[in-house]
Amino acid sequence: MMSGWMLGIGLISFIAAMALALGFTPLVKKLAIRIGAIDVPNHRKVHTRIMPRLGGVAIYGAFTVGLLLILPWVPADMLSTYDRNLISALLVGGTLIVVLGALDDKFDLSAKLKLLVQIGAACIVVFGYNIKIDLLNIPFGSAMQPLGEWLSIPLTILWIVGVTNAINLIDGLDGLAAGVSGIAVATLLVMGIIMSNEAIIILSAVLLGSIGGFLFFNFHPAKIFMGDSGSLFLGFALATLSMLGFKQVTVVSFVTPLLIIGVPLSDTFFAIIRRWVHKKPIFAPDKGHLHHCLQQLGFSHRKTVLIIYGIAAFFGTCAIVQSSVSNSGLGNWITFIVICALVFLLQIGAELIGIVDQSRRPVLDLLARLRMKPQTDSRGK
């Protein structure tokens, strides 16, 4: 049972981090303009005027300072060695990621260099603090199976690097990446409260407050962009927290992190499929992401962002419900049903908005044929 004192610490953490972000963001905006860390409009971008980026530095600064201010008030016996390693890994690896992103906001670094540094940050988590995916559960089985190092290490690195880039890919509209990340962090916070996980409560509360304070300046019409310094840091933080916050990762519980970050992961998946279908390089930028498709359907900038917020909230709710029932007798079956339903809905949604291809709609065409078949049979009788 979570104590009122712990919930109070979480609330104070949230408020303190938000206040810090509200104070840091205008200062970072001035710095970005002064050093030339700006985003210039082009044919792929939605905004039409030069904008300062580097906003991720404000998020990171609020998160780090807020965390360092709160931790001394947390009793030493409340955080395990694992929890302290988690916090250290997030701070050290996150610092490297923010430095990478800040340099990219100013100098536009190559994709290969950014990937190498992201792998380095993931290696810090895995080798520096021994935090990785250790356990696996065969679906509909009861025994937890330990993963060997040959599988555990690359799987963890792949997860961290993949989620880090997934958040970066959805950063295409004012407030989009920050809001979606905030919803994912809020989901983690709720799950941390349900599971009485003190470390996740503190980390999620501080990170959520940092995002909230920055979002005040980033929501449409934005006054500053988070840039790669923000999207990469938020992706790294979400990857670390969503994977490591609950001590063990099974096939059932591993579905939960996938749901928590469902919007950026599904958008990244469809982007890879879209570029493969059209025979384009996987890393080639385009205007086929979820937010682009919604705008092409006629939704305004603000409505597009709010629709995606709603989708992210739906994923988050599914994650909380799925996690709550995963330990029950029907947990495996409920998880299986949730996965099947979401895959079907994702495919239908992707075909409706044309996120992969405007002309290829296999499931919708099949449903249309099935709907027409009884009518054809009745006319033929």
pLDDT tens per residue across span 91-118: 999 999 999 999 999 998 999 999 999 9
Residue of 133 and 89 predicted with greater confidence: 89
223 φ, ψ to 5°? -100, -15
* Strand ranges, E, within 212-355: none
Say what the pLDDT of residue 342 is: 83
* Residue 65 contacts residue 18 (beta carbons within 8 Å): no
CA–CA distance, 195 with 187 (Å, rounded to integer): 12
8-state DSSP, 144? E
Work out the percent of the chain whose per-residue pLDDT is above 70: 86
Would you place residue 135 in the very low, low, confident or very high pLDDT band (cuts 50, 70, 90)?
Answer: low
Per the annotation, does 168 bind a ligand? yes
Say what the pLDDT of residue 1 is: 46
Say what the pLDDT of residue 314 is: 92
Say what the pLDDT of residue 230 is: 97
Say what the pLDDT of residue 251 is: 40
Whether the full predicted model's pTM is greater than 0.75, yes or no, is yes
Q: Pick the closest to residue 245 from 122, 85, 95, 92 (CA basis).
A: 85
Q: Is the pLDDT of residue 45 over 80?
A: no
Would you place residue 331 in the very low, low, confident or very high pLDDT band (cuts 50, 70, 90)?
Answer: low
Q: Is the pLDDT of residue 238 over 80?
A: yes
Q: Pick the closest to residue 200 from 233, 162, 164, 240 (CA basis).
A: 240
Strand 38-39 to 51-52 pairing: antiparallel
Say what the pLDDT of residue 340 is: 82
Residue of 179 and 359 predicted with greater confidence: 179
117-121, 164-168, 364-368: which has the highest mean pLDDT? 117-121
Q: Pick the closest to residue 17 from 195, 260, 189 (CA basis).
A: 189
Say what the pLDDT of residue 362 is: 83
User: Where is 51: in which H helix or E strand?
Assistant: strand 51-52
Average pLDDT of the residues in 69-80:
87
Mean pLDDT of the chain: 85
Tens-place pLDDT, residues 176-220:
999 999 999 999 999 888 888 888 999 999 999 999 999 999 999
Q: Is the pLDDT of residue 328 over 60?
A: no
Residue of 287 and 142 predicted with greater confidence: 287
Residue of 339 and 376 predicted with greater confidence: 339
* Residue 220 contacts residue 173 (beta carbons within 8 Å): yes
User: Where is 160: in which H helix or E strand?
Assistant: helix 149-169
Region of 132 (left: φ > 0; alpha: ψ -120 to 50; beta: rest) is beta
Least reliable range by pLDDT among 2-11, 57-66, 83-92, 258-267: 2-11
Say what the pLDDT of residue 81 is: 87
Say what the pLDDT of residue 207 is: 97
Q: Is the pLDDT of residue 122 over 70?
A: yes
Least reliable range by pLDDT among 14-18, 164-168, 170-174, 258-262: 258-262
Per the annotation, does 104 bind a ligand? no
Q: Pick the closest to residue 105 from 204, 207, 226 (CA basis).
A: 226
Q: Is the pLDDT of residue 294 over 50?
A: yes
Question: Domain limits of the chain?
Answer: 9-373
Could you give the C-alpha distances from 193 to 11, 92, 201, 258, 326, in angstroms and in order?
Answer: 12, 25, 6, 19, 17
